[in-house]
Amino acid sequence: MGGGVAGGELAGAVSAAGALGTVGMMAPPAFASALAQAHRRAPGRPVAANLLAPFIRRAHIRACVEHDVSLVVLHGGMPSRWLHRLREQGVPVFVTVGTARAARRALAGGADGLVVQGSEAGGHLLGVEPLQDALPQVLAVAEGTPVLAAGGVADATDVRRLLDAGAAAAVAGTRFLLTEESAAHDEYKRRVMAAQETLSTMLFGFGWPLRHRVIPNSATERWCRVNELGPPVVRLANRFSAPLGRAVPLDMLGKLVAHQRPGLPLLTPALPLTGMPEHTIDSAALYAGETVNRLNDVIPARQAVARLTPG
């Protein structure tokens, strides 16, 4: 989970508990610091990193190599220069895909493995079909290449079902959003626990015009009543804003969220973190997957890992 939610404290706690903790994308100095913190919390355990393709900088790649990352997952694209740079340094690279066609491209481009994302996943959506439909299609293309499965993972029953279906591992997001170590704003966590539904929207696409699965807030209630994707003019503006998003430093995008308002539909993909003003909750992307109606508590990350572990 990017934007600072999955920092060193959360990733380290997950790895220390026996799973593969993953540091999410953030500005390069904070990213490097989080990787170091994760290793301090989980000495001798593997730590992964998730990089959002449009925003990767050379410093992110350097941090992954210097901090001995065991796996990098690319999301939202597959920039070949960064993929090959990491592989040259001995770092395995997986690519997130939503379709069999995207899986073929990723494997042809040199990916060591795949993360297939179902449409029920929270956050930045590449998935277009439910995971139960997308997983077998991607497995058929992978022909033995490791495939991890993401979307709709709330407990050990979900993990066992995915493993039995052929996935090499399961990926969970919303369960770890609702942990003590997650840096998500407390009110954000409270609203996720209270949510009864999610929506797939492009409203929060200023700077990165992807679909996002979120829970409702004042911004979505105002702008997504007619079409949950958002008004066509907003989606068009977001599409033209993509070059700006790639040019603006990641830490600046995070600061912009404090100035967003529900009534002005220029909304970035940034999400509300601990310490941000509470008013950001109603104008920021409240990412969550369709598991929200099955998750109702904030627990330590080690307990989340235990609940997800079959047997």
Residue-wise pLDDT tens digits, 132-168: 999 999 999 999 999 999 999 999 999 999 999 999 9
Spatial CA neighbour of 284 closest among 305, 310, 262, 253:
262
Note the pLDDT of residue 257.
Answer: 85
Note the pLDDT of residue 119.
Answer: 97
Spatial CA neighbour of 104 closest among 78, 128, 132, 85:
78
Written as six digits, the tokens of 186 are 């407390």
Written as six digits, the tokens of 228 are 């949950």
Note the pLDDT of residue 121.
Answer: 98
Confidence class for position 297, pLDDT limits 50, 70, 90: very high
In eight-state DSSP terms, residue 179 is: B
Note the pLDDT of residue 128.
Answer: 95
Note the pLDDT of residue 258.
Answer: 86
Share of the chain above pLDDT 70, in %: 100
Note the pLDDT of residue 200.
Answer: 97
Angstrom distances, CA of residue 208 to CA of 40, 127, 201, 249, 294: 33, 16, 12, 13, 29
Higher-confidence residue of 242 and 5: namely: 5
Confidence class for position 248, pLDDT limits 50, 70, 90: confident
Task: Give the pTM.
Answer: 0.95
Note the pLDDT of residue 191.
Answer: 98
Average pLDDT value over all residues in the chain: 95
Residue 124's DSSP bridge partners are 212
Written as six digits, the tokens of 308 are 């997800």
Backbone angles phi, psi at 227, to 5 degrees: -145, 120
Mean pLDDT (whole number) for 50-60: 95
Mean pLDDT (whole number) for 56-80: 96
Count of residues in the chain: 311
Rounded to whole angstroms, the Cα distance separating 268 from 237 reads 12
Spatial CA neighbour of 173 closest among 231, 96, 233:
96
Q: For the segment 186-207, what is each residue's pLDDT rounded down to a tens digit?
A: 999 999 999 999 999 999 999 8
251, pLDDT greater than 90: no
At the topology level of CATH, where does 8-181+295-308 sit?
Answer: TIM Barrel (3.20.20)
Q: 52 near 126, Cβ under 8 Å?
A: no
**Is the sign of the CA dihedral 221, 227, 232, 235 positive or negative?**
positive
Note the pLDDT of residue 249.
Answer: 76
Residue 10's DSSP bridge partners are none
Mean pLDDT (whole number) for 61-83: 96
Q: 191 near 173, Cβ under 8 Å?
A: no
Written as six digits, the tokens of 292 are 């929200």
Per domain, the residue ranges of the chain are 8-181+295-308, 199-287
